[in-house]
Amino acid sequence: MQAADWVQQMAVYKTFDNGFEYIDIVNKSGRAKIAVQGAHLFHCERVGEQPLLWVSETSFFEPGKAIRGGVPICWPWFGKHQTDSSLPQHGFVRTSVWTVVDIQETDEHTTELILQLKSSARSLQLWPYIFELQLHVTVAEKLTIALTTKNCDENTFTITSALHSYFTVSDIDNVYIEGLDKTRYFDSLTKESIIQKGNTHIGGEVDRIYQNVRYPLTIHDQKRNVHIDAHGSSSAVIWNPWKEKCARMGDMKDDAYTTMLCIETANALDDARTLLPGDKHTVTAILS
């Protein structure tokens, strides 16, 4: 099969009615949808299974607005900017338009997509460094997402980042996370440093950055288990807004917190990465 024929059959460029562009991938392993804006994977499901990723029913799919759900890319800073609160939360790349540079069918069960983003006049106003980003997505038996940062500048820079994965769960009350026992975390709500004891259960608003994480992690749900492995990361963020905060968010229904859980493969806090000119760093999430 010629590459051009396969692209027409297996990876289709589509748009919403408002012109918002995405790529729809279908193979014998499953289906994935990736927005060109933000290189944002917003849908993934294996054949015969419920969607792996959660996306808000009221999320914006509009130019310049971040999608609520899927796997947003937080870069070159995670959370609020350390010194300038007027800058975009979680950086600027999730609302930037990326370029599709390659689509390959390794076999009938495996599709690989590479998107790229380079520094621009706009990005230099927000962050004064020359860079190149590549996102390599592999849709197969496992979903693999790899974000590579290259320092193309003459100066050294430091980044924090996250593959901000939202997972679909049956009910947050019936879910726990295995793999973080005895791991220290920073509680962003109380500003305390705490050591996790046993499995992680969600019983209220949670916003934690775990450090020195020993992957893999597992979400245990009544209906299925989800496994999260990572490379190039030793930090993980656990987030659920819970009832009160969810009700205040314009792009989530009031009860949306009950069917979602974020476990983010990150480079945050002490896991920030400093790149010399010419250096590269890749952070990878493997989800199954």
Helices (H) and strands (E) in the chain, counts: 3, 23
Q: Give me the average pLDDT of each 10-residue run along the chain (288 residues).
A: 46 88 94 96 93 93 92 95 86 95 91 97 96 97 97 98 97 97 97 97 97 98 95 98 94 95 97 98 97
How far apart (Å, rounded) are the C-alpha atoms in residues 146 and 61?
Answer: 23
Nearest to 260 by CA among 277, 240, 246, 243: 240
Indicate the DSSP class of residue 72.
Answer: P
Catalytic-residue membership of 227? no
Contacts of 160 (CB under 8 A, 6+ apart): 74, 76, 77, 78, 79, 266, 267, 268, 269, 271, 272, 273
Q: pLDDT value at position 5?
A: 43
Q: pLDDT value at position 4?
A: 41
The CATH class of the 3-287 domain is mainly beta
- Domain borders along the chain are 3-287
Q: How many of the other CB atoms lie within 10 Å of CB of 276?
A: 10
Model pTM? 0.94
Catalytic-residue membership of 281? no
Options 40, 43, 90, 164, the catalytic residue: 164
